[in-house]
A and B are shown apart, each in its own frame.
Chain A
Amino acid sequence: MSTSAPPTSEVSTLTLREAHRQGLRNALLRDERVFLLGEDIGAYGGCFAVTMGLLGEFGHERIRDTPLSEVAIAGAAIGAAMNGMRPIAELMTCNFSLLALDQIVNNAATMLHMSGGQFNVPVVFRTTAGGGRQLAAQHSHSFEPTFAHVPGIRVLAVATHEDARGVLQPALDDPDPVVLFEYPRIMTLEAECPDEPAVVDLTSAAIRRPGNDVTLVTYGVTLYTVLQAAKILEEEGVDAEVIDLRSLRPLDDATVLASVARTHRAVVVEEAWRTLGVGAEVASRITEEAFYELDAPVARIGCAEVPLPYAKQLEDAAIPQAAQIVAAAHRVLHHG
């Protein structure tokens, strides 16, 4: 495979897309019960070219192009998992994953409960979220909070190279259904990666930039916007800590609370809609658990609460931008 590093080097430069692909490839190599199913994942290489080349290496049995039915992809993956397989189901975008919501929410998430603990469902669903590529309201929404609302599944937002390569193994090893969100907007982002993928912990948040003045909490694609904002703040002499929640269910409160105990200020940023979003949950947990640590109310930034527009400048207006995060940081820093 072109994406596997030459054996001599210890690091190689990978795009995020290649990192995702390596994760899939490693999973396929490691366990023959693992197979992929989804729309156009074979010769076409997947909607966002993540599975490109896997068909040639693993064949049609394990890289299965399916008929055009999200509900069948999800439902059949559940059935296969109940029979000992380790399916990785691709749902092109989380907008289209909604067609499979009955299978994921009513079935995968409840099977253990409804079967009195007799059937667990070790299935992995991969889907994509986020705008910024002018794909309009029916391809670009951020439904991480919708899924994270549901007990019985794990939900992860996979935004870094390390996570992209390392998340599948623990996700497949996990006995319960896991939903992974990937982000088309950053697929071409490059990073130096060690040959040996890191082991990713499914349950913890990651501090992507340590800091002491203000805590910026985020997940998914906005991680990079937040890091950009942190850089601007750094130039102003503000030392921001950036937390990538990564796991949205379960939420790693401890990392967030420990940070807020140091900085006393928090801004929560996400590309999903603000109302009833992950940011709302994080903000209320901070209020519940660390109210007396706070020097300012928690600030929240999310997508404008409209269907995400197709027009470039409308889309930009709707999606959180670095300047907005900086302004919110200023507000919590200069509160009162």
Chain B
Amino acid sequence: MVDEREPASGDPHRRGRRTAEELLPADELVQLLDADGVRHEHPRYTAEVGDDALRELYRWMNVVRAVDRESIHLQRQGQLGVYASGLGQEAAQVGSASALADADWVFPSYRELGVGMVRGVDPVRLLHLNRGTWLADHDPHEHGFAPPSIPIGTQALHAVGFALGALFDGAPIVAVTYLGDGATSEGDTHEALTFAGVMGAPVVFFVQNNQYAISVPVEEQTAAPTLAHKGVGYGIPAVRVDGNDVLGTYAVTREAVDRARAGEGPTLIEAVTYRREAHTTSDDADRYRPREEVEAAEARDPILRMARYLRANDLLDDAAEREVQDAAARLAGEVRARLYDAPHGDPRELFSHVYVDPTGHFEEQAALLERELGERGQAPR
């Protein structure tokens, strides 16, 4: 950029600004664990995790996958309205979520069941959203997990605002927003990145590039070399990581979160992965992508490679594997039992959460509904 004027010296907003060269993301994906489960060193990103933590990452990915699969079954049986699967994205979600502190906040989209579970959210409570019994039924404050955003990209701005609040309070809280590759085209996302860059907000933009936005492949979503390159335009350092590598996603997220907490501003992470299921249960992906592509993605499976790595390092044997699978199946079974035929709400709940302090006119509406329900012969439940 040609500077037409000298920057005001000592301007706090100008501290930590980086040059274009500094901002250009590396060509290579960060990968600490390859598809064969072989561990690689990286000069900058190291996943300092002990054996127990390694097993924990593995367990989480399996548990998330089991609940994800169960959710698809529940939808097929008419128990959920619609469900957006994260099959294949377990490493991206579990790795990144495991790098956060309890006090941090997540601003998710609708595909982040895995992130929510790692944050300690009861999956049944999240799935009530898909069942239509209640909306956000989990406690966002307890878990630092905001209600999932359905309009694409809008949550990125909330994360920025939330992070600015943390800056103002001097609280060491980082806001992490989860976005899809498609979301990077939305105006809201662009504006969130602009704000975060200028204001040095403690935000991590975690983009799961799962290659598709419904039917639109990422090459038609952007002409940029990679999604990470977009960071340059916002003055935000960006990194591309193998999103099927749970250690890699953990390491890059950890570094981004640590830097944000240390006052060094936002980071854009592009986790390169693949959406192996259809966009949601109401979509037929065969219309727009070849089956072979999905099969190729299966070979890069995040769970498989972690299992290989753990086994090669004597951290997993048949008995331990069985334990993990049993625990995953048990939780999935619990989720099913608790969701199946769960009662729906009373029509009178319609007015429960529109205003904190309902106005007089509102009571009039509720009375009107009461009358109309009578007129329709809809008995109170």
Contacts and interface: CB of A to CB of B under 8 A. Distances in A.
B182 A307 contact: no
Interface in B127-173: 129, 132-135, 150-153
A216 B185 CA distance: 44
Contact of A68 (B82, B134, B183): B183
Given A304-B365, A317-B378, A134 B150 contact: no
B373 interface: yes
Given A306-B350, A310-B135, A314-B349, A68 B150 contact: no
A177 interface: no
Contact of B344 (A44, A139, A313, A323): A313
B345 A67 contact: no
Contact-residue size bin, chain A (C-beta under 8 Å from the other chain): 35 or more
Nearest to A93: B151
B21 interface: no
Given A43-B288, A306-B354, A314 B152 contact: no
A71 B187 contact: yes
Interface string B272-291: 00000000000100011000
Interface in B171-205: 182-183, 185-188
A281 interface: no
A42 B215 contact: yes
Interface string B93-116: 000000000000000000000000
Interface string A172-213: 000000000000000000000000000000000000000000
Nearest to A52: B287
B375 A304 contact: no
Given A138-B151, A318-B350, A323 B376 contact: yes
B149 to A, nearest CB: 9
Interface in A118-148: 134-136, 138-139
A11 B82 CA distance: 37
A96 interface: yes
A139 B214 contact: no
A309 interface: yes
A310 B81 contact: yes
B293 interface: no
A135 B132 CA distance: 9
B350 A304 contact: yes
A327 B375 CA distance: 6
A68 B216 contact: yes
B19 to A, nearest CB: 28
Nearest to B223: A67
Contact of B350 (A69, A134, A309): A309
A203 to B, nearest CB: 33
Nearest to B283: A44
Contacts of A323: 375-377
A290 B182 CA distance: 52
Contacts of A42: 215
Contacts of A99: 151, 186-188
B216 A39 contact: yes
A324 interface: yes
B351 to A, nearest CB: 6
Interface in A300-336: 304-307, 309-314, 316-318, 321, 323-324, 326-327
B132 A96 contact: no
Interface string B343-381: 011010111001000000010010001001101111001
Given A43-B288, A138-B151, A67 B377 contact: no
Interface string A65-91: 101111110000000000000000000
A96 B347 CA distance: 27
Interface string B54-95: 000000000000000000000000000110000000000000
A18 interface: no
B150 A305 contact: no
A40 B216 CA distance: 6
B89 to A, nearest CB: 18
A163 to B, nearest CB: 27
A234 B255 CA distance: 71
Most buried by A among B347, B350, B377: B350
Contacts of A314: 132, 344-345, 347, 349-350
Lowest 8 A-B CB distances belong to which pairs? A317-B347, A44-B215, A67-B185, A310-B132, A327-B375, A68-B182, A323-B376, A311-B132
Interface of B: 81-82, 129, 132-135, 150-153, 182-183, 185-188, 213-216, 220-222, 283, 287-288, 344-345, 347, 349-351, 354, 362, 365, 369, 372-373, 375-378, 381
Interface of A: 39-40, 42-45, 65, 67-72, 95-96, 99, 134-136, 138-139, 304-307, 309-314, 316-318, 321, 323-324, 326-327
26 contacts: A39-B213, A40-B213, A67-B216, A68-B182, A68-B186, A68-B221, A69-B186, A99-B186, A134-B81, A134-B132, A138-B150, A304-B351, A304-B365, A305-B362, A305-B365, A306-B351, A306-B354, A310-B135, A311-B132, A311-B344, A313-B381, A314-B345, A317-B347, A324-B372, A324-B375, A327-B372
